[in-house]
Structure formats: C-alpha cells, structure tokens
Amino acid sequence: MHSPISEWPKAQQPREKLRSSGAETLSDAELLAIFLRVGVKGKTAVTLAQDLLGTFGSLPRLLNSTAEEITRCHGMGLSKWAQIQAAYELVKRSLEQELTHDSVFGSPVQMRELIQARIGHLPHEVFLCLHLDGNNRLIECQELFRGSIAQTAIYPREILKEALSRNASALVVAHNHPSGNPTPSNKDILLTRDLQEAVQWVDICLLDHCIVSQSKFFSFAEAGYMNKS
C-alpha cells in the first residue's frame, strides 16, 4: 500500500493491529515500522522497514547494524538507528534481569535467548562468561574476550580471576561461530576440558559451554561432553 498508513483500514494499521490482536500477530516489518514511526517521501514506515530488512538480510543483522551502516540507507538517520538500538538493548537487559532472579536452568530458554542476543549475530568471535551464584542465578554476564572472524584467544587464568572476583559458585561460558556452524572444533573441546579441570581447583563448577550462531545453538552439557571431560 502506497497511501499513508493513517488512511489504511484500521485493522491493517500496525499500531491498531497490535492493540487489537497482540504484538505476536505483526510481521517483522510491521513491528519495525512502529519504532520508525514515519517513512520517507513515497514510502510508508512499513515499506521503509521492508526495504531495511531486505538490505540487511535479516532482523538480527539489522538490529546489530552500526550507525554507519544504517545511515547509508535512504530515510534512515541517527535518531532512528538510536531508537532501534535502545529497543534491542531493553530486550537484552530484560533477559539478563530475569536470570538474576531465577536459576538459569529453571529458565533455559531465557539463557539461550540472552546468549544469542548478545553474541549470536556478531561478525567476529566473542567469549562470554555467565557468572552464577550458589543457586545458579546470574550474577553478571561478562564479555571477556573478543577476536577475529575465525578465532579468539581465550585464557583460563583470566576466566578464573574474573569468577573469583565476583564470588561465583558456577559458570556457563559461551562463544559464537560467525561461520554459522555451531559444531565444536577440537580446540573448543580441549578448552572445555581444560577449563572444567581448572575451575575445580577453586571450587567452581563449569556447568556448560555453549556455542551459538545466528540461528543455531550447541550445548556441551546437552551433548554429554561435560561428563566426558
């Protein structure tokens, strides 16, 4: 539809559709249009949102775009980029705060969503540590190491130091594979074994090592690697 959204039938206007039928009934473009608020000459906010999704290829890629990337798109300025980033940051903080009140294993979906929201769509490798208390509640989700598109230098000594400084009783560690394949490499398996042995010396339990990509998730614990280690 090329006419202004205000002239659309009420049931098809994104805000009215959300109000009457719920946010889950809206498409990615319709949800994004609500944040954009207005389009540009000749394009509604929905059409602009569709163009953005087409340019970036996916919603996650758009959400992780830089200001420079998004402002190259016609009709997009820093204020609209900031609105999108603020909304995305609220989602990540909400997930993190939920896990500070409940065991990460009582909310496994939220834990996965948090990890994927933080690092799943990045173009370079990042290593996260989820520091947990004695009840497996989140103390802090910390980005500890950052690397290239293919690898990250990881130091177990630094992981132990950071865990001890937070008085953590347990850890879940995670990193991403920008290639899109979360299958662990031999290096990942060796790291998990070495780290599991190292934390035992300071009475900390390594509960899981997760590997994520843009749409996939691998858990060492679910795959039985933690026991084998």
In the chain, the number of structural domains is 2
Give the pairing of strands 205-212 and 170-176: parallel
Question: What would the pLDDT profile of 187-220 be if each residue is shown by its tens digit?
Answer: 999 999 999 988 988 899 999 999 998 788 999 9
The answer to whether residue 174 is domain-embedded is yes
Q: Do 131 and 200 share a domain, yes or no?
A: yes
Q: Do 159 and 198 share a domain, yes or no?
A: yes
Across 158-162, average pLDDT: 92
- Identify the three-state secondary structure at position 140: strand
The answer to whether residue 210 is domain-embedded is yes
Question: What would the pLDDT profile of 118-145 be if each residue is shown by its tens digit?
Answer: 888 888 899 999 999 999 999 999 998 8
How many Cβ atoms are within 10 Å of 92's Cβ, its own excluded? 15
> Residue 19 belongs to what domain range?
5-90
Q: Do 66 and 160 share a domain, yes or no?
A: no
Across 31-41, average pLDDT: 85
The answer to whether residue 81 is domain-embedded is yes
Q: State both tokens at 198.
A: 């190292």
Q: How confident is the model at residue 64 (pLDDT cuts 50, 70, 90)?
A: confident
Q: Do 82 and 180 share a domain, yes or no?
A: no
User: What value does the CA radius of gyration of the chain take, rounded to a whole number of Å?
Assistant: 21
Q: Do 119 and 151 share a domain, yes or no?
A: yes
How far apart CA 156 and CA 192 sit, in angstroms, is 10
